[in-house]
Chains A and B, each alone.
Chain A
Amino acid sequence: MPDASFLDTGVVLGFCFRDDSHHYRCRQYLDEHEHDLFVSDHVVSEHLNREPSLAEEISDGIFDHINRLRNSEFEGQLDSMDTSRIRQDLIGRYNDAGTTLHAFYSDEVPSFILIDELVGRLRDLARDIESNAIENRKGLMDRTEVWEQEAEYSELDDELSAIPWDDRRICLDAHDVAETTGDMTELATTNPTDLVDNGYRELILSHTSLEDVVSLANRS
């Protein structure tokens, strides 16, 4: 049974930004194991601390939509024809919240709604998205140690060269945790294609000090 788990970029981003029900396997994995958890420092600096965050990009898309709505001819009570036109005309083509907004209008808006109520609900949606991300991130970071690889593993890097660089870098970081801490360490990933399938898992286990490579991907 491993003592430690190194989380790859997909696990970290999925856990922080997806809605609860959609990172079920990640949450279950973290809840059921008492592992020490590690994440790579570059995942934190390049992905979690980036501005704007993924959640902010989506909520910004909702604010952009609200702005278009306020600058449109729609006012007062809206009927389903209005909301259909709003959905068609006022969600920008490159809006990061496009998919979310289309689902909101098609499934969640009643036949009649006041525009102020609609805007209020859109604001709630944007705020919920950010709250969800903040809470998930805090929950994860409270439990994890940010790992900075110091040793060089050029020989191992060559041996794993069949693996794309960004995934290989995670393998090297995880290997460094195992070497430095002496803990039985496994690598958790949402990218089985490049780290588990087609003999990659065996390749990694035969050359590194890792105990296992586990996939948390939702396979269809």
Chain B
Amino acid sequence: MPQDEPELGEPEFLGWFLLKKLKEQSDDQISRSKFLKLCCVADRRLLDVYDYEVGLPRYWYMYGELTNEHEFSGRFYNVPLAIGWDGQQYLPQELHVSAFDVSEEGFEVIPDAVQWTVREFGRETVEEIKQHQYEEHAENAFIRKYSELRWLLSTIDLGEQERLENYGNGGESNDEYLKRQLDEMMDAYPDEEGRYGDMKRVYLRWDDTIRLMVDQSVEYSRIAEFLDDFIEVLSKSVLRFVYNQHISNERLAEWEEDAAEEKSNFTSHLRDVRSELLHDRSRTTELDRVSDAYSQSVEEQIEQLLARE
């Protein structure tokens, strides 16, 4: 490659300009999560308002959208350790715009979109940016529903188990309200083959397990954690494959390897959590009533299993 040909392109220019404008707006430290999310917000602004595509590599992960920084073609930022919290802060490198290979139109619209992003979201927290992302850009109702539930769980006083802020009408209890949210999530689960279909068995098992937690008055903080656990494995097995753009085949192959392991680990974790909850639960008489039929089913399964040997 000739010396004077810039290795940095339009996605990098968007990221660099965003960091510069954020630092101009405030001297606050910029976290990785905030930077990677705001790149996505600016990119969506470019597409929606200017119909301009820079090719930013981004994907849906848990409660919002992230830029895949590993796909940037070169470094345009420094990441010293943050002060006051674990992690790194993102700072723009001292570069001239000529370091970036950007079209004439790009030099006009990218700064506009970035400035809008900084004005609208520069002072927002990561949680607030996530909320904007799932409210405005969630790809389906299921993502919106689980994100709303997570938001709700994060707004209550976990120590006090206080009544949920926006609990339903008619004297609905917290538990009833939570179960209604879980019902709505289930109604919204995409009825699709492929990755969503492959994950459905785990989802339905997780759903019943979190209902067991509600029944047994498990702390809301643990319920929120268990929701996070599931959404993380859903993200790694489904969401980031189904909802992404400009992710390289190499990266997708790495994700694929990761997905199988994550799903297996989560299945074991789910089994442990569920066993513990079932241990603390009193048996009902439902199985006793259909004992003959159940035992016949098991007998058939055992026969099939042994016949496969």
Interface residues of A (CB under 8 A from B): 9-10, 13-14, 17-22, 47, 51-52, 54-60, 63-64, 66-67, 70-71, 96-100, 102-104, 107-108, 121, 123-132, 134, 165-166
Q: Nearest A residue to B179 by beta-carbon distance?
A: A116
B residues near A54, Cβ cutoff 8 Å = 298, 301-302, 305
Q: Which of B183, B208, B211, B289 contacts A108 (CB 8 A)?
A: B289
Residue count of chain B within 8 Å CB distance of chain A: 43
Q: Tell me if B283 and A128 are in contact (CB < 8 A).
A: yes
A residues near B301, Cβ cutoff 8 Å = 17, 54, 57-58, 96
Interface residues of B (CB under 8 A from A): 183, 186-187, 189, 191, 200-201, 204-205, 207-208, 211-212, 267-268, 271, 274-275, 278-279, 281, 283-284, 286-302, 305-306, 309
Give Cα distance in the complex from A103 to B305, angstroms.
23
Q: Tell me if A100 and B297 are in contact (CB < 8 A).
A: yes
| Shortest Cβ distance from residue A172 to the other chain B in the assembled complex, whole angstroms | 15
Give the interface centre of A17, A55, A66 by most chain B CB atoms within 10 Å: A17
Q: Tell me if A103 and B201 are in contact (CB < 8 A).
A: no
| Shortest Cβ distance from residue A44 to the other chain B in the assembled complex, whole angstroms | 14
Q: Tell me if B187 and A132 are in contact (CB < 8 A).
A: no
Q: Tell me if A131 and B278 are in contact (CB < 8 A).
A: yes
Q: Tell me if B298 and A18 are in contact (CB < 8 A).
A: yes
Q: Tell me if B306 and A124 are in contact (CB < 8 A).
A: no
Give Cα distance in the complex from A102 to B102, angstroms.
66
Q: Tell me if A13 and B297 are in contact (CB < 8 A).
A: no
Q: A127-B278, A130-B274 are in contact. Are A100 and B284 (CB under 8 A)?
A: no
A residues near B302, Cβ cutoff 8 Å = 10, 13-14, 17, 54
Q: Tell me if A96 and B297 are in contact (CB < 8 A).
A: yes
Q: Is the interface of A mostly helix, strand, loop or mixed?
A: helix
Give Cα distance in the complex from A19 to B289, angstroms.
11
Q: Tell me if B293 and A99 are in contact (CB < 8 A).
A: yes
Q: Nearest B residue to A63 by beta-carbon distance?
A: B204
B residues near A104, Cβ cutoff 8 Å = 286, 289-290, 293
Q: Nearest B residue to A66 by beta-carbon distance?
A: B204
| Shortest Cβ distance from residue A73 to the other chain B in the assembled complex, whole angstroms | 13
A residues near B208, Cβ cutoff 8 Å = 63, 123, 126-127
| Shortest Cβ distance from residue B269 to the other chain A in the assembled complex, whole angstroms | 12
Subset of 20 A-B contacts with CB under 8 Å: A18-B295, A19-B287, A19-B294, A51-B267, A51-B271, A58-B294, A58-B301, A63-B205, A67-B200, A70-B183, A99-B293, A99-B294, A100-B293, A100-B294, A103-B293, A104-B289, A108-B286, A131-B281, A134-B275, A166-B309
Q: Tell me if B287 and A132 are in contact (CB < 8 A).
A: yes
Q: A60-B204, A131-B283 are in contact. Are A99 and B296 (CB under 8 A)?
A: yes
| Shortest Cβ distance from residue B142 to the other chain A in the assembled complex, whole angstroms | 13
B residues near A130, Cβ cutoff 8 Å = 274, 278
Q: Tell me if B186 and A124 are in contact (CB < 8 A).
A: no
Q: Tell me if B299 and A71 are in contact (CB < 8 A).
A: no
| Shortest Cβ distance from residue B204 to the other chain A in the assembled complex, whole angstroms | 4
Give Cα distance in the complex from A140 to B200, angstroms.
32
A residues near B288, Cβ cutoff 8 Å = 19
A residues near B295, Cβ cutoff 8 Å = 18-19, 21-22
Q: Tell me if A134 and B204 are in contact (CB < 8 A).
A: no
Q: A60-B204, A128-B283, A130-B278 are in contact. Are A9 and B191 (CB under 8 A)?
A: no
3 residue pairs, one from A and one from B, having the closest CB atoms: A103-B293, A22-B295, A128-B287
Give Cα distance in the complex from A121 to B293, angstroms.
16
Q: Tell me if B281 and A70 are in contact (CB < 8 A).
A: no
Q: A103-B290, A166-B306 are in contact. Are A67 and B298 (CB under 8 A)?
A: no
| Shortest Cβ distance from residue B231 to the other chain A in the assembled complex, whole angstroms | 19
A residues near B298, Cβ cutoff 8 Å = 14, 17-19, 54-55, 58
Q: Tell me if A67 and B204 are in contact (CB < 8 A).
A: yes
Q: Apart from A54-B298, A103-B292, what 13 extra A-B contacts exist at CB < 8 Å? A: A14-B299, A17-B302, A19-B295, A47-B305, A58-B294, A59-B205, A99-B296, A103-B290, A103-B294, A129-B287, A129-B294, A130-B274, A165-B309
Give Cα distance in the complex from A134 to B205, angstroms.
16
B residues near A58, Cβ cutoff 8 Å = 294, 297-298, 301
Give Cα distance in the complex from A18 to B299, angstroms.
8
Q: Nearest B residue to A105 by beta-carbon distance?
A: B290
| Shortest Cβ distance from residue B169 to the other chain A in the assembled complex, whole angstroms | 17
Q: A17-B302, A18-B299, A134-B275 are in contact. Are A124 and B286 (CB under 8 A)?
A: yes
Q: Nearest A residue to B204 by beta-carbon distance?
A: A63
A residues near B287, Cβ cutoff 8 Å = 19, 125, 128-129, 132
Give Cα distance in the complex from A185 to B302, angstroms.
25
Give the interface centre of B268, B286, B291 by most chain A CB atoms within 10 Å: B286
